[in-house]
Amino acid sequence: MKKRRSLLVGILSVVLLAGCGSDSSKDKTYFHYDSKDFEPILGEKVNNETYNYEGIKVNPVMNLRDDFAMGVDGSMIATVEENGGTYFNKDGVEQDVYQIMANNGVNFFRVRLWNNPMTLVGDGYGGGNVNTRKAIAMSKRAQAAGMNIMVDFHYSDFWADPDTQRAPTTWAAMNEAQVVEEVEKFTFETLTQFKNSGVNVSAIQVGNEINNGMIYPFGRIDWSNPKKGFDSVANFLKAGIKGAKAVNKDIYTVIHLANGGAKEEFDVYFSELENRNVDYDMIGVSYYPYYHGTLEALEGNLHNLANKFNKPIMIVEFAYGHTTANHEWAANIYNQNMEESGKYLTSIQGQATALVDVINILANVPNNLGLGLFYWEPAWLPVEGASWATANGQAWSEFGDGMNPSYVSRFSDGKATWSNQGLFSYDGRALPSLQTFNLVRGDQEVVEEKYIKVYEDEISLTLNLAENEQLPTTYSAITDFDAIRQAAVVWNDSEAARLDTIGEYTVTGTVNDEFSVTANVNVIQNFIKDPGYESQGETDELLAPWIIRSSTPSDDVVKLNRKPQDVRSGTSDLNWYHGSESFSFDVYQIIDNLGEGTYNLTTYIMAVSPGELAHSNLEVYFKVNDEEHTVQMKDLVIGWGTPANYYIEAKIENVYVSSNANVEIGIRGSAVAGAWGHVDDWSLVEV
């Protein structure tokens, strides 16, 4: 029997070496927590589900700050309870949900806040309908359980995120200067209501995921000419900060962006705020592993932020799925296809391990600036009425009018979209993963993480002789912590030696000295260089050998994209988009020294489906001297979804190339504002 080799996870070993810079922040305490006991608030109902609470594997995290925020955003709780949802502790006894979370180590409660999430006749938009009254009510219960409070100002009547930042209805007819005044006034008046209600707010977010601006159209950032947008955003942020500090000079203000693995995006954004003297206190980050890149990317971003801006950093949104089971009142966003990009199994243990890994990275941010984490909506149970959006809410988000019957009739009420990423079961019982907040501070014995099997016994891959590509040196394997890590793989030498000739081969290998695997290898001579945009720089600027021939109305239509949910393979693709104007683009590559022969050109495109945002032109081309061959894709693309299913093949076949011909391949398109697309995985092979 072969000896089992223990797991050495690269990212975890890296973070343990981090955080050894300046000690300037180690002695500063940002948050103080109420440790007083509370009388349990119990109910009469019981839940007889069974879970292995003792079997969850969580190792202690070293270097955690004493004031580290173990937070949750539980903004759906009130609506869940209003619609019959009940919460149970680990013993299956009905208990106040805030107390259940506090008993499991949660010390901070974040609540989102919308200006007025309902129509003039009182029909709610959904998503908890969280106005000031409701936010205060939830915050009081959280505070009674010993939690600190953070208020997340969206400055909108409904969801605000990188794609949607609609101005509140009552602000929409104002000019920008008036909106700046309203931001300060609304922030001041709202926090005053919290204060007068006995809620001590420790921190606020001045906007939610404001990557592309806030309070549209006033604060939209046009990335083709971002100065005006950043000027407006800076004015709004300053107004919100001023309003908050007028209520409590000691309140902390947080600026929050999504895409936690996007180092360049954060660097540019916070540099722009620094250039405009925005005096904020902390940086907030959204990081969902299946959306926002690898742990290494997250770590690189947080380290850069700490070293460059010297602000405390909190991951204010995080979650991971524990099941893919269906439910009548759920339409969950997280699905099985996200597991591979997320790098954890869809399980309670996988959920806990994902949480520990991210806390570990925060604990080792340079200068001790990793201040906390908030788990997003851990208690959103799938009950009827607890939807992400009603038909009215969807109409308001899309058209700015949640009452007009012609708009509302286009939609139906939604369902719960987050229940399978919660820290409670569908029926409301606390899951073993909720214990993670306590266990990372525990003194339990460290458990060695070990590989137990490979993620897939067999893989298919393509190697390009023109780029001298080799078989991978690591292979996806599953650990007993339900993580998907990269383990060393050794391939059969004699079988691998054949991979110097075009053809299809099977190569066997051994992972971690114990697991047998097979690679089905297609060896090609692909004459396109950097066919998947994997050899570009750290920024989103497209570099040689790819060339942007033209891009209107600016040079910012075409960018590299590294969001895992968008990429067909590898870590990058090419993206085109313009939010405010109709646009066109043309991107190409010159193919040098292509021998005489007949060739096929193939690539894959995922783009907005034909409709209001359709492309008027979207074609791939293969130009030989003055003769151009094209394939039109504008009516073939089908929108966004799982890359394996939504990237559509574009192929030009049997093109004859004479000796010494001038050859270009590329993609060009034209579309209205708001249209978008991605291209990935080019190949040019002789047939």
One DSSP character per residue, 286-314 reads E--TTTS--HHHHHHHHHHHHHHH---EE
Looking at the chain, the whole-number percentage of residues with pLDDT higher than 90 is 90
Q: Which CATH superfamily is domain 10-119+129-259+278-293+311-386+397-405+416-439 in?
A: Glycosidases (3.20.20.80)
Could you give the CA distance from residue 681 to residue 605 in angstroms, rounded to a whole number?
9
Choosing from 94, 209, 272, 339, which is the catalytic residue? 209
Mapped onto helix, strand or coil, the DSSP state of residue 223 is: coil
Verify whether residue 504 is a known catalytic residue: no
* Residue-level pLDDT at 480: 99
pLDDT band per the 50, 70, 90 thresholds, residue 662: very high
Q: Do residues 351 and 433 lie in contact, with contact meaning Cβ atoms separated by under 8 Å?
A: yes
* Residue-level pLDDT at 562: 87
The H-or-E segment that residue 226 falls in is: helix 226-247
Could you give the CA distance from residue 458 to residue 516 in angstroms, rounded to a whole number?
9
- On the CB side of 344, CA atoms within 13 Å amount to 28
pLDDT band per the 50, 70, 90 thresholds, residue 556: confident
Q: Do residues 542 and 560 lie in contact, with contact meaning Cβ atoms separated by under 8 Å?
A: yes
Residue 508's DSSP bridge partners are 518
* Residue-level pLDDT at 462: 93
| pLDDT exceeds cutoff 60 at 441 | yes
| pLDDT exceeds cutoff 50 at 1 | no
Could you give the CA distance from residue 132 to residue 461 in angstroms, rounded to a whole number?
53
Mapped onto helix, strand or coil, the DSSP state of residue 129 is: coil
Could you give the CA distance from residue 621 to residue 643 in angstroms, rounded to a whole number?
22
- Token pair for residue 679? 């291209």
Structural domain boundaries of the chain?
A: 10-119+129-259+278-293+311-386+397-405+416-439, 452-524, 547-686
Could you give the CA distance from residue 204 to residue 201 in angstroms, rounded to a whole number?
7
Chain-centroid distance, C-alpha 299: 14
Closest listed residue to residue 220, CA positions, set 536, 684, 682, 673: 673
Phi, psi of 64 (to 5 degrees): -70, 135
Lowest mean pLDDT among 21-30, 116-125, 289-298, 520-529: 21-30
Could you give the CA distance from residue 292 to residue 679 in angstroms, rounded to a whole number?
19
| pLDDT exceeds cutoff 80 at 11 | no
Looking at the chain, the whole-number percentage of residues with pLDDT higher than 70 is 96
Q: Do residues 273 and 236 lie in contact, with contact meaning Cβ atoms separated by under 8 Å?
A: no
Where residue 594 falls (left for φ over 0; alpha for ψ -120 to 50; beta otherwise) is beta
* Residue-level pLDDT at 642: 86
* Residue-level pLDDT at 13: 39
* Residue-level pLDDT at 522: 96
Site of tokens 């709004």: 236
| pLDDT exceeds cutoff 80 at 203 | yes
| pLDDT exceeds cutoff 50 at 14 | no
* Protein fold of 547-686: Jelly Rolls (2.60.120)
Chain-centroid distance, C-alpha 134: 27
CATH class for the region spanning 452-524: mainly beta
Could you give the CA distance from residue 184 to residue 243 in angstroms, rounded to a whole number?
5
| pLDDT exceeds cutoff 80 at 4 | no
Q: Tell me how far CA of residue 46 lies from CA of 23, 86, 91, 238, 607, in angstroms.
A: 49, 10, 9, 49, 49
Q: What is the DSSP letter of 687?
A: -
- On the CB side of 130, CA atoms within 13 Å amount to 32
- On the CB side of 71, CA atoms within 13 Å amount to 30
Give yes or no on whether 10-119+129-259+278-293+311-386+397-405+416-439 and 452-524 have one common fold.
no
Verify whether residue 317 is a known catalytic residue: yes
Could you tell me which residues come within 8 angstroms of residue 638 by beta carbon, excluding any fewer than 6 positions away? Answer: 609, 646, 648
Where residue 155 falls (left for φ over 0; alpha for ψ -120 to 50; beta otherwise) is left
- The larger pLDDT score, comparing residue 314 to residue 16, is at 314
* Residue-level pLDDT at 555: 66
What pLDDT digit, counting tens, does each position of 616-657 carry?
A: 999 999 999 999 999 999 999 999 988 989 999 999 999 999
The H-or-E segment that residue 244 falls in is: helix 226-247
* Residue-level pLDDT at 563: 84
Q: Mean per-residue pLDDT for 457-480?
A: 96
Could you give the CA distance from residue 666 to residue 590 in angstroms, rounded to a whole number?
9
* Residue-level pLDDT at 656: 98
Could you give the CA distance from residue 443 to residue 221 in angstroms, rounded to a whole number?
48
pLDDT band per the 50, 70, 90 thresholds, residue 36: confident
Could you give the CA distance from residue 667 to residue 623 in angstroms, rounded to a whole number?
11
Mapped onto helix, strand or coil, the DSSP state of residue 640 is: coil
- The larger pLDDT score, comparing residue 133 to residue 579, is at 133
Q: What is the DSSP letter of 564?
A: T
Average pLDDT taken over every residue of the chain: 95
Neighbour-count burial for 37-62, b at 16+ CB within 10 Å, e otherwise: eeeeeeeeeebeeebeeeebbbbebe
Q: Mean per-residue pLDDT for 535-555?
A: 89
Q: Can you say whether the dihedral through the CA atoms of 136, 430, 372, 540 is positive or negative?
A: negative
Neighbour-count burial for 668-682, b at 16+ CB within 10 Å, e otherwise: bbbbeeebbbbbbbb
Choosing from 317, 339, 377, 619, which is the catalytic residue? 317
| pLDDT exceeds cutoff 70 at 303 | yes
Lowest mean pLDDT among 172-181, 272-281, 544-553: 544-553
Residues in the chain: 687
| pLDDT exceeds cutoff 90 at 399 | yes
| pLDDT exceeds cutoff 90 at 579 | no
Question: Which amino acid is located at 254 in the chain?
Answer: V
Question: Which amino acid is located at 77 in the chain?
Answer: I
